[in-house]
Chains A and B, each alone.
Chain A
Amino acid sequence: MALADNAPVIVLETNYFRIIRQAILSKPSTILASIVILIFCGIAAFAPWIAPYDPLKQSYFAISAYPSAEYWLGTDQFGRDVLSRLIYGSRNSLIFGLIAPALAAIIGTTLGVMAGYFGGITDRIVTRLIDLMMAFPELLLAIIISAALGGGFWNVVAVLTIAFVPGFARVSRASTLSIKQEPYIESSIAIGVRTPVIITRHILPNISAPIVLLLTLWIASAIRLEAALSFLGIGTQPPQASWGNIIRDGLSNVFGSPWSIIGAGASITIVVLAFNVIGDSVRDALDPDAAE
């Protein structure tokens, strides 16, 4: 291939966002999914103004109450308003869903690019570690790490991040390996461009498509994973509300009102479904080969 054929060497970042925006706006299903996500984001952002009660306040006059005009989704066994807890719980789910994949993308891409670009012993160590971690299902990996770290906000962020790092590392390593073969990298090295500049100016922009793609696909996984960890009691710690631990509380009071379980589970399902629909259409747009 002649050098002149490679005209658009650097794909501008804005390009991706245009492709993604077009992919989302072109179908009714993805528009609906974005509206759902925006509504949940709004609920999370304005939780203190929307929630009818304090999510931690216990009322001894209404314990395990069924839905009523006063408590729309009833109360739990501690007399806390379920609807308010669901509203505050959305904060947890969305924050973890966005922070963890983003951090994992930064760490994983750094590792993957290093391994792919420098090769040798760095590559061997990183690849072996990735293979090992990829062998474990994310949930199991997360359980094992939280067994060591314990619960709490930053520990859960760390656990989720570590669980997602291998995927990003593997993808960015493979992309770096193929970009490294391109003549423009060779010529940059030849004219004496420094390595950090080559990586940031030439490699990173060119491998960003699969990384943006993974990022959108894994928001849903991160939300599910946080819910599962909180359900197991090793994620968000009570009394802080999270959709996962609301279901846990609901199950420990299974003879009471089931509405906390139904509400929290439905919220997780709807949000994950919405992110999945968007993730799928972004994948179809950025990676047409993978489309069914």
Chain B
Amino acid sequence: MPGIISVKLLDAVPTVFLVLTLVFVALRILPGDPALVALGDYATPEQLALFRSQTGLDAPLWQQYFSFLWDMIRLDFGQSLMQHRPVADILAENLPYTIELTICATLIGVVFGIPFGVLAAVKRNRLPDSGMRIFSLIGYAIPDFYLGALLLIAFALNLGWFPINGGGDGFIDRIYHLILPAVTLAMVKIAFLGRLTRTSLLEVLSKDYMRTAKAKGVPRSKIIYKHGLRNALLPVVTGLGLSLLATLSGSVAIELVFNRPGIGETLINAISVRDYPLIQGGVVVFAFFVVLINLIVDIVYTLVDPRIRG
């Protein structure tokens, strides 16, 4: 087992380098002049030259590339242009909010989504199944930030049950601030996981060994949960990884809706004020999480399905 994990870890190393290279290319070569982007259109040539020498932008590209890689390995993201403090500090402050939101939304999604999917599959073509179908149709179509805005208007503004913005201080307060954003993201996830579980379980239930189990006289609940669900959960595990990534990217808009601190909110604000080092740091953090989640999904998938190990 440790063998598989270390192989996967080794496999992720070139991916990380490739991602870093793409970030470098995207942010430094594509848009023209980062100095102009950072200082704005009204900067004088002297200011631009000073900025370039301060940030090392006047060095040859290959030198910039290697010093960029070296900085990233040491987690040195430079100084924020607007907040005048290390980018790493800003990101470290905001990261816990994004992580707690993503994890919470995923938990709610799993706790409700999988049972709903099982219910829909077991009661196929009856009321729970149609309910699930309508719920997932809407869940697939409604933008998460719109759903968040509706919940905000209904439950925070009009009813006053929840706070309107912020991330909260202290454990209880933070959970209180977390509920609406997490529920928003979880709704989409429930629709996704519910439908996935339903499809997967229906497929497994039609297998020959299910009929054998039934013929042997195994109780129906045991057939569904022990024989069926265990096999049906395999695609759900992969789907969960995909939806974790979707939740991570969805958190960007949700943080903006609820005015929550977080990496997404930091990144979007950095883009709007052209805080170039902060943009780079935020992008690298997101990219890192994408690689990490894919890696975990890969490893979990091998653990869950002995057939892949080979």
Contacts and interface: CB of A to CB of B under 8 A. Distances in A.
Given A139-B252, A145-B26, A132 B19 contact: yes
Given A144-B23, A146-B271, A135 B141 contact: no
Interface stretch (B87-95, B97-105, B142-150): B142-150
A232 B138 contact: no
A270 B137 CA distance: 11
Nearest to B22: A132
Interface in B19-34: 19, 22-23, 26-27, 30-31
Band of interface residues on B: 35 or more
A261 B150 CA distance: 8
Contacts of A272: 140-143
A152 B153 CA distance: 30
Contacts, number: 122
A140 B286 contact: yes
B149 A139 contact: no
B257 A148 contact: no
Nearest to A131: B15
B277 interface: no
A247 B138 contact: no
Contacts of B153: 254, 258, 261
A38 to B, nearest CB: 18
Interface stretch (B52-60, B69-77, B108-116, B243-251): B243-251
Contact of A269 (B141, B245, B249, B272): B141
Interface stretch (B179-187, B226-234, B287-295): B287-295
B290 A147 contact: no
Contacts of B143: 224, 227-228, 231, 265, 268-269, 272
Task: Point out which of A144, A146, A265 has the most chain B C-beta atoms below 10 A from its C-beta.
Answer: A144
A139 to B, nearest CB: 4
B157 interface: yes
B300 interface: no
A28 interface: no
A70 interface: no
Nearest to B293: A135
A292 interface: yes
Nearest to B195: A292
Contacts of B245: 136-137, 140
A135 B18 CA distance: 12
A247 B245 CA distance: 24
B248 A137 contact: yes
A265 B146 contact: yes
Nearest to A139: B249
Contacts of B141: 220, 269-270, 272-273, 276
A129 to B, nearest CB: 9
A264 B157 CA distance: 19
Contact of A232 (B19, B31, B253): B253
A150 B37 CA distance: 10
B283 A144 contact: yes
A66 to B, nearest CB: 14
B179 to A, nearest CB: 18
Contacts of A227: 143
Given A128-B18, A140-B248, A143-B252, A251 B257 contact: yes
A102 B282 CA distance: 31
Task: Point out which of B31, B143, B152, B245 has the most chain A C-beta atoms below 10 A from its C-beta.
Answer: B143
A135 B150 contact: no
Nearest to A251: B149
A135 B150 CA distance: 31
B237 interface: no
A251 to B, nearest CB: 6
A28 B250 CA distance: 33
10 contacts: A128-B18, A132-B19, A135-B291, A136-B290, A140-B248, A140-B290, A143-B252, A231-B145, A234-B268, A261-B146
Top-10 shortest CB links A-B: A265-B146, A273-B141, A140-B249, A139-B249, A137-B249, A272-B141, A148-B26, A137-B245, A269-B142, A148-B30
Interface of A: 128, 132, 135-140, 143-150, 220, 224, 227-228, 231-234, 247, 250-251, 254-255, 258, 261-262, 264-265, 268-270, 272-273, 276-277, 292
